[in-house]
A and B are shown apart, each in its own frame.
Chain A
Amino acid sequence: MRLNSLAFRLFATAAAWTLVVLPLAGIIIYGLYRDDVQASFDGQLRKLVNAITVDSMAPGSAPEAPENLYEPLFEVTHSGWYWQITPLDKPDARKLVSPSLASAILPSPAIEKVVPDVSGARWMDVLGPKGEPLRVVEVIDTLGHEPNKPRYSILVAGPIDWLEHLVSNFRNRLTTALALAGLGLVAVTLFQVRFGLLPLRQIGRGLADIRSGKANTLQGDLPAEIEPLQLELNELIHSNQEIVDRARRHVGNLAHALKTPLAVITNEAREEKGGFGTKVAEQAQIMSDNVSHYLDRARMAARVNVIGRVTPLAPVVEALVRALQRIHHEKDVKISVQCPPDARFRGERQDLEEMLGNLLDNACKWARKNIVLVVEVPPDTGHAHRQRLTITVSDDGPGVADAERATIAKRGMRLDETKPGSGLGLSIVTDLAQSYGGSCELARGPKGGLSVCLQLPAA
């Protein structure tokens, strides 16, 4: 999952929320539970202290040790359960204590100035004779509950180490449960994000199909939220192709409109003997070369990055060979073609025709007997968008000297002015190939003639 992705954003916010909420909930639940346990323990202590008060503070001259030992552990030495009755007004008077306390004395919350609660009881946590943590409750009363009598502090203590144990036990289980819930939530979020964003992946695949030419439009039943996007995108692709087609049509019309008058001017000027006619013919030739050159460029510009056009090679090659063998019927040239049936060019049919047509036409003009066209498709490497077709056209003609190969590809360069043609053929092939990110290279052919190697994107 990339950091800058919708999936990550959705996942991260959900995970962050989980990370905040779950611990908070844990803390609250833990706190409530602990308070609850403490309250119930306090209630028990409160009951004991009340019972002892009732027993010991019966009307009389002195408090009596409670007869009913409500808790057997009051008898067991250092059991953690203690009671203690202390006269407050006569500090030297004898204290009554539970047998469990033995000779130890517990500190009094009243003396420690602990504020009493609404029922008049004072609460405090102390350490017992063994150093064990104790919860102490103390009430102050008089014999027979009569006012203005000597006051006594009645104190009961209970061990709270088991309480701590209980609470920490609960905390551990709570933490485990919440952690599991958190993991579950994260997993569900992950699934939700993946599942929810599935249509976006579908769009990605659809666009790749359009790019590779497998589809013309973005297909599939997409969710309501992105359906408008799908419609708009299909419209865009459609109008894009329409614009290209229209531009092409206009350029074609312009070509027709300009070339016929140029033909008339050229013919007229050639009839006119003398300096003027020659000059006009010469200039008309320059104009006509320029028209061809810039019309070709305009056509090329009209199609930059047209998405989704794929052209199978075999039919194009077949049609061109058929046409060229009729055009050059007088020469009786044999064109042999080796083209795998699955070779496909990622681009416009017209451009492929233009490149191959010019190369084959050149070859037909120069070849003695044979022309060989070989199309090679690279093995499938999985990187479909980086694959290159290699198309080689070689003839058995006179060939081109090493030094001249560079000039031949330039605009308007012709090595032999006697052969018909404007000389723009190879330069437009080079430009077209480059506009597709490919290349066009000249080399010495196997039979001494010219060999042109064209590299083009495969589909």
Chain B
Amino acid sequence: MRVLVVEDDKDLNRQLVAALSESGYAVDSAGDGEEGYFLGETEPYDVVILDLGLPKMDGISILEQWRRADRKMPVIILTARDRWSDKVAGMDAGADDYLAKPFHMEELLARVRAQVRRASGHAKSEIECGPLRLDTKTARVTCAGLQIKLTSHEYRLLAYLMHHNGRVVSRTELVEHLYEQDFDRDSNTIEVFIGRLRKKIPIDLIQTVRGLGYRLSDEPEQG
């Protein structure tokens, strides 16, 4: 899952990036409005955390331009402006949630999870696929009740596949959603991680769809 943090306060930006990375997200960050707008415009994010009072370009305009350009990723506004008029303006500009500063990091993380789940169509915080069970709150994966030990990259890959289970996910999509912007995007690494994951979970859960990508499903392979 890839998250964009647009926040001009350096300390808060760093804290957000740290907390989100720790929770298993690939995080990009921008320190001003223009950079944030550009990243959101060009990269496929699963969630954006957007401050409103930003240098160079304010948050509401950024959001409105994204929505006008048909960028539909969930956006959580994180701002000190906690008046209802600001909230209404933010939601009307196309935000999906609104969190006022100062905030609790756990609450922000919960809201990020909620937006990711919502975007992929899951109602509960636990996602199941066959014997696999992903607890998005604790970032733990169990198989038939036993916890599976995963590295952070393995977790990102599996979590993304589980959020989108039953659907074919292309290699490019995986690269785009699992790694930060400046990561060396060699799609071969995906194959390496898929290989490693297959060793840790029942091998037929991750199906390779030739020429298209991968699919996580507990139903037998078609064709």
Contact = CB atoms under 8 A, between A and B. Distances in A.
Nearest to A354: B84
Contacts of B85: 349-350, 353
Contacts of B107: 420
Contacts of B11: 261, 264, 268
B203 interface: no
A326 B96 contact: yes
B88 interface: yes
Interface in A25-39: none
Nearest to A299: B83
B147 interface: no
A377 B19 CA distance: 50
B15 A264 contact: yes
B102 A288 contact: yes
Nearest to A348: B85
Contacts of B96: 326, 329
A330 B114 CA distance: 8
A104 interface: no
Interface in B74-99: 79-85, 87-88, 90-92, 95-98
A357 B15 CA distance: 30
Question: Which secondary structure characterizes the binding site on chain A?
Answer: helix
A322 B84 contact: no
B102 A323 contact: no
B83 A256 contact: no
B38 interface: no
A260 interface: yes
B102 A353 contact: no
A432 B105 CA distance: 30
Given A263-B12, A267-B19, A267-B105, A256 B81 contact: yes
B200 interface: no
Interface in A308-352: 319-320, 322-323, 326-327, 329-330, 349-350
Contact of B82 (A255, A266, A322, A323): A255
Nearest to B96: A326
A354 B81 CA distance: 12
B83 A260 contact: no
B31 interface: no
A326 B12 contact: no
A256 B7 CA distance: 12
A292 B82 contact: yes
Interface of A: 252, 255-264, 266-268, 270, 284, 288, 292, 319-320, 322-323, 326-327, 329-330, 349-350, 353-354, 356-358, 420
Interface of B: 9, 11-12, 15, 19, 53, 79-85, 87-88, 90-92, 95-98, 100-105, 107, 114, 118, 123
Given A260-B101, A263-B12, 7 more contacts: A261-B11, A319-B88, A326-B97, A329-B96, A330-B118, A350-B83, A350-B85
14 contacts: A259-B101, A259-B102, A260-B12, A261-B11, A263-B12, A270-B104, A322-B91, A322-B92, A326-B91, A326-B96, A327-B98, A330-B114, A349-B85, A354-B83
